Amino acid sequence: MDKKAVIVGASSGIGREVAQLLIADGWQLGIAARREEPLMELKAMAPERVEVATIDVTKSDANEQLLSLVERLGGMNLYFHASGIGKQNRDLNTDIELRTMETNAIGFTRMIDTAYRYFAAQGKGHIAAITSIAGTKGLGPAPAYSATKALQSTYLQALEQQAHQRGLNIHITDIRPGFVDTALLSDDFKYPMLMRPENVAQDIVRSINRKRHIRVIDWRYRILTFFWKLLPNWIWRRMKL
């Protein structure tokens, strides 16, 4: 199999770590994000195997830019979506909520749909995306973030079912990390069970290679989310987070 992947959201955090692992493993990569400079640093690792594009997923032409990047790469077998924003917003600042929706809901849908249609026309492909354990329950400190993460997981599940019903050879991997020590968690809150991005990236690459359907990272968060799901709403809404 040709190892050709596109990573959107490769400039920092988990996306950048995954890009480095795939480059080291000999993949040809198309990498994209809003900031070009960090992408060029990744390209320097293997200039002949890395294509770069500046893409903002909230822009209406982001899908066209993605397809242009795929064309320059010479094809795509894996689409990895690592783009996303999130912030605690207890005061419900409207700008924060709407930006989160635009990136994590509208931008996510725009890019995932483009990859799905590409793979449907190609006859095969693999979509992997970072959602979050935050989509398990509605989190009061981050309403838009938890809501969009729930949307992402449900959307991926729906596409997986559709692909199966249509007889399409499209595999989908929903990656749900817990708290990861990246710029996404840049506020003053002290997050528990914080994970290192390089360790999370290694788990993601293994999960992609094994074609997992859903991967909660790591075992502590698998236990946590298991019990979260069991909690009735009357208990959940009284919990202090």
Residue 133 in domain: yes
Residue 46 in domain: yes
Residue 29 in domain: yes
* Catalytic positions, written as ranges: 145
* pLDDT tens figures, 50-74: 999 999 999 999 999 999 999 999 9
30 φ, ψ to 5°? -110, 120
Residue 109 in domain: yes
Per-residue pLDDT band for 199 (boundaries 50, 70, 90) equals very high
Range of 115's domain? 4-236
| CATH number assigned to the domain comprising residue 65 | 3.40.50.720
Distance CA 213, CA 48 (A): 32
Q: How many domains would you assign to the chain?
A: 1
Distance CA 42, CA 68 (A): 19
pTM more than 0.85: yes
* pLDDT tens figures, 38-47: 999 999 999 9
Residue 241 in domain: no
Residue 100 in domain: yes
Per-residue pLDDT band for 183 (boundaries 50, 70, 90) equals low
Peptide bond into 56 cis (omega under 30): no
Host H or E run for residue 53:
strand 50-54
* Structure confidence at residue 174 (pLDDT): 98
Host H or E run for residue 18:
helix 13-24
* pLDDT tens figures, 214-235: 999 989 999 999 999 999 999 9
Per-residue pLDDT band for 49 (boundaries 50, 70, 90) equals very high
